[in-house]
Amino acid sequence: MSYMTLKNQKRILIMLLCCVAVSIVLFSRLFYIQVIKSDYYKQRAYSQQTRQRTVAAKRGTIYDATGEKVLAQSVSVNVVTAVPNSIDKDKKQEIANKIAEILELNAEDVLAKLTKNTSSVTIATKVEKEKSTKLLEYIEEEEIEGIRVDEDTKRVYPYNTLLAHVLGFVGTDNEGLEGLEAYYDDELSGVPGKIVGSTDGSGRETPFTNEQYVAPIDGKDIVLTIDATIQSITEKYLNKAVKENLATYGMAVVIRPSTGEVLAMASNPTYDPNDPFTPYSEELKAKWDSLSSEEKSTELKQMWRNRVISDTYEPGSTFKIVTATAALEEKVTEMDRANDFSCAGSLKVGTWNIKCWRYYKPHGSESLRQGIMNSCNPVFMEVSQRIGIDKYCEYLSAFNLYSKTGIDLPGEASGIMHDQKSMTAVDLATTSFGQTIQISTLQTAVNYCAVANGGYLIQPYVVKEIKSGTGNYEKKTESKVLKQIMSKETADSILSALEDTVTDGTAKSGAVRGYRVGGKTATGENGRGENLKYLAGYAGVAPINNPEIVVVMNLYDPKGVSGHGGATVCGPVVGSIIDETLRYLDIKPDYTLEENNIKEKLIPNVTGKTVAEAKNILTENGFVFVSDVELNDTDIINVQIPKDGASLMEGSQVRVYTSEDQKQTVSVPDVRNKTSDKAIEEFKNAGLNTRVVGSGYVLTQDPSPGSVIDKGSIVTIKCVDTTELP
């Protein structure tokens, strides 16, 4: 019997100790994996053995104020995905070609995705139903594994460009990127669902297993304060004004002053949220291909910009109501204190000699009311001197002009005022009539709402209600009065002066037939010297006896034949918006046409009558029977232009036809800056009828010059004595 040597015994001991150490390490590692990190590795195993596909939630619908017109909605489309390892390698090229053919894609791009070393890949999103159906039929007929067609949604804006800057748009993942889509994204987006299936270690689908479907939760619906009809009216006239006056861009907003509800908000140029990354204006399209990526991005951001709330400018004379409010509240004057001010054409403040717009023919002695009516700068400069810097700044703060209005839209800018600590006498003087400061178009509108509603500063808003998925109202927005910033007596007094400004002052161009309207013009200056650009503006309130709407419009850098003044450029357009909006809202006129000395009559209906009968009816009602084709007395009239129910001056022509194909068209003459009598004569010679608003020289005409319309149609002209306009 042999005995191990001491050396061998040591070796065995060392080997045993090593085994024990390794065992401890292995045990510790197993304990760490199976106990401490068990949840982590369970999840890893689950991820390796399952494939999860997202099912998009249906984004909430956006309705206009009526709750009937859909402004944005999500429609069902599909997403096509593939599991590359589950597709037969020998058929990938064939399958890629067919998928590309059906979905109108590049075959090589599809093949690249089908050969990726990944568990799942997206082939196409937002696939329309017709294409999805064809693809599913192909998959079923050829018994193809690894291609899936799942439910998805696509955002659609049925009215295309209407309200684009307010609505905004969504990205490819249905996430809101601009406007309401971004601001209310949490409410609109909902919660995505998913489809979960089993796979093997190579990522191939496991046979004989069922997929688990987790349904998405749809987003909430939103009802706006904005009425699609009023928005259409506003955009129609804003677009016309920008085009005819060769303006760089324009902005308009309509607000209900009693509540702060925004009824319309428009910017021009616009874009189509259905295709937001494509330039919309012809000018931008022409230079698009020559721009760098960075330049394209900048241009797109400008195109999406809601200028009503995001751009600030020197407001000009529409700002004078702020100074008038301070004057009356601080009792430094009264509205009708005769000869309280004197306009010598300019006023010297410090070393500056600041002119009135009518410096060449000074206004002379004036009351505050006359200062408002004449838009006289010296009156407001003197008022501000009486008030003083510190007290005047208190009113700027009361009107919230140092901050934002708080509207529920992204991208709102704050007003820019002089710092009270460093404000000079010259700064005070220029601020008093709306220069050397900046506010947005929306802020101007809110200022006028305070005058219109009896002195209360309201917070404007665009979302009236949010509805849950069951259709129940989850949230209703309540009107928010921030504070009272003037007495009702002051508000009523300024409102009265604004009405006089329309009837007998510088804002005549915004008059509306049948309604009592208040208004104020503005011509702001932006930049100086060679960089000087004008901002034409007009603010209107109607009806004066019980204000239902405030309308503010601004045009930046107008260069047309009508000049750059707010009276000539914006006044008639705001008047047209007020006119159509009040009639749409069924607001009863304040006076009849006869009471306003407008000699018009309603056109009778002569369709269905014989030619002989039509002649007698029209002649008896003071109209002229006209036909562009030869008719017999026994022929039956089937078409008349204008249609019955419209009102026209006595002696106007009514054209009649026996069929639609007899109608004739004519190009509308340009009568701007001509007298109303000359305009009527030119339209009559062209076979057109005229509706005249105001008297004097033509400021605007609708339809626009050069438009091709039916003979006998009505062209509305707005006229005013331009010698009395700033």
DSSP-derived secondary structure for 223-289: EES--HHHHHHHHHHHHHHHHHTT-SEEEEEEEETTTTEEEEEEEES---TTSTTS--SHHHHHHGG
- Is residue 319 within 8 A of residue 444, CB to CB? The reply is yes
- Is residue 389 within 8 A of residue 428, CB to CB? The reply is yes
Q: Over 90: is that where the pLDDT of 195 sits?
A: no
Number of CB atoms found within 10 A of residue 189's CB? 23
- Identify the top-confidence range among 151-160, 233-242, 702-711: 233-242
CATH number at residue 670: 3.30.10.20
CATH number at residue 520: 3.40.710.10
In the prediction, which pLDDT does 39 show?
Answer: 65
Residue 388 in any domain: the answer is yes
In the prediction, which pLDDT does 208 show?
Answer: 45
Spatial strand order of the sheet with 639-641 comes to 624-626, 653-657, 639-641
For the stretch 573-620, pLDDT in tens is: 999 999 999 999 999 988 765 544 557 788 999 999 999 999 999 999
In the prediction, which pLDDT does 459 show?
Answer: 97
For the stretch 312-346, pLDDT in tens is: 999 999 999 999 999 999 999 999 999 999 999 99
In the prediction, which pLDDT does 1 show?
Answer: 45
339: left (phi over 0), alpha (psi -120 to 50) or beta: left
**Higher-confidence position of 205 and 176:** 176
CA dist 509 and 521 (Å) reads 9
Q: In the structure encoding, which two tokens stand for residue 500, read together? A: 């006089």
Phi first, then psi, for residue 160 (nearest 5°) are: 55, -110
Q: Over 80: is that where the pLDDT of 674 sits?
A: yes
| Stretch (H or E) spanning 613 | helix 611-620
Phi first, then psi, for residue 518 (nearest 5°) are: -110, 150
Q: Are 549 and 688 in a shared domain?
A: no
Q: Over 70: is that where the pLDDT of 43 sits?
A: no
For the stretch 57-96, pLDDT in tens is: 788 999 999 999 999 998 877 788 888 888 888 888 888 8
CA distances from 191 to 5, 372, 401, 463, 511 (A): 76, 55, 40, 22, 51
- Identify the top-confidence range among 502-516, 523-537, 544-558: 544-558
Domain final position from 559, 584, 609: 584
| Stretch (H or E) spanning 456 | strand 456-458
Number of domains in the chain: 3
In the prediction, which pLDDT does 725 show?
Answer: 64
Q: Are 194 and 159 in a shared domain?
A: yes
User: What is the band of 115 on the pLDDT scale with cuts at 50, 70, 90?
Assistant: confident
Q: In the structure encoding, which two tokens stand for residue 148, read together? A: 């899936």
Residue 264 in any domain: the answer is no
Q: Are 621 and 512 in a shared domain?
A: no
CA angle, corner 225, sides to 224 and 226, nearest 5? 85
- Is residue 637 within 8 A of residue 606, CB to CB? The reply is yes
CA dist 427 and 435 (Å) reads 9
CA angle, corner 455, sides to 451 and 461, nearest 5? 80
Q: Over 60: is that where the pLDDT of 203 sits?
A: no
Residue 276 in any domain: the answer is no
CA dist 270 and 292 (Å) reads 22
- Is residue 714 within 8 A of residue 703, CB to CB? The reply is no
In the prediction, which pLDDT does 617 show?
Answer: 92
For the stretch 610-664, pLDDT in tens is: 999 999 999 998 899 998 888 899 999 999 999 888 788 888 899 999 998 889 9
Q: Are 551 and 688 in a shared domain?
A: no
Q: Are 522 and 629 in a shared domain?
A: no
In the prediction, which pLDDT does 598 show?
Answer: 53
Residue 392 in any domain: the answer is yes
- Is residue 650 within 8 A of residue 611, CB to CB? The reply is no
Average the pLDDT over 451-459 and give the result.
97
CATH number at residue 216: 3.90.1310.10
Q: Over 90: is that where the pLDDT of 393 sits?
A: yes
138 in helix, strand or coil? helix
Q: Are 383 and 430 in a shared domain?
A: yes
CA dist 443 and 412 (Å) reads 10
Average the pLDDT over 476-493 and give the result.
94
Spatial strand order of the sheet with 212-214 comes to 50-55, 193-198, 212-214
CA dist 274 and 265 (Å) reads 19
Q: In the structure encoding, which two tokens stand for residue 484, read together? A: 């009272």
Q: Are 195 and 327 in a shared domain?
A: no
Average the pLDDT over 14-30 and give the result.
79
Q: Are 577 and 601 in a shared domain?
A: no
In the prediction, which pLDDT does 442 show?
Answer: 98
For the stretch 254-289, pLDDT in tens is: 999 999 999 999 999 999 999 999 988 888 888 998
| Stretch (H or E) spanning 465 | strand 463-467
| Stretch (H or E) spanning 329 | helix 320-329
CA dist 517 and 622 (Å) reads 31
Residue 477: give the domain boundaries: 312-584
Q: Are 633 and 715 in a shared domain?
A: yes
Residue 44 in any domain: the answer is no
Q: Are 632 and 564 in a shared domain?
A: no
CA angle, corner 42, sides to 39 and 48, nearest 5? 145
CA dist 446 and 144 (Å) reads 63
Domain final position from 563, 584, 605: 584
Q: Which residue has the tokens 């800018």?
A: 413
In the prediction, which pLDDT does 415 show?
Answer: 95
Q: Which residue has the tokens 């909006």?
A: 581
Q: Over 70: is that where the pLDDT of 213 sits?
A: no
Residue 393 in any domain: the answer is yes
709: exposed, middle or buried (C-beta count within 10 Å: 0-12, 13-18, 19+)?
Answer: middle
CA dist 54 and 193 (Å) reads 6
- Determine what percent of the chain is predicted with pLDDT higher than 90: 57
Average the pLDDT over 446-451 and give the result.
98
In the prediction, which pLDDT does 3 show?
Answer: 54
CA dist 491 and 307 (Å) reads 28
Q: Are 217 and 360 in a shared domain?
A: no
Q: Which of 144-158, 178-192, 231-245 has the lowest mean pLDDT?
A: 144-158
Domain final position from 209, 224, 239: 224
Residue 556 in any domain: the answer is yes
Q: Rounded mean pLDDT of the chain?
A: 87
Residue 646 in any domain: the answer is yes
Q: Are 157 and 110 in a shared domain?
A: yes
CA dist 27 and 269 (Å) reads 72
- Quick one: which of 517, 494, 495 has its CA closest to 507? 517
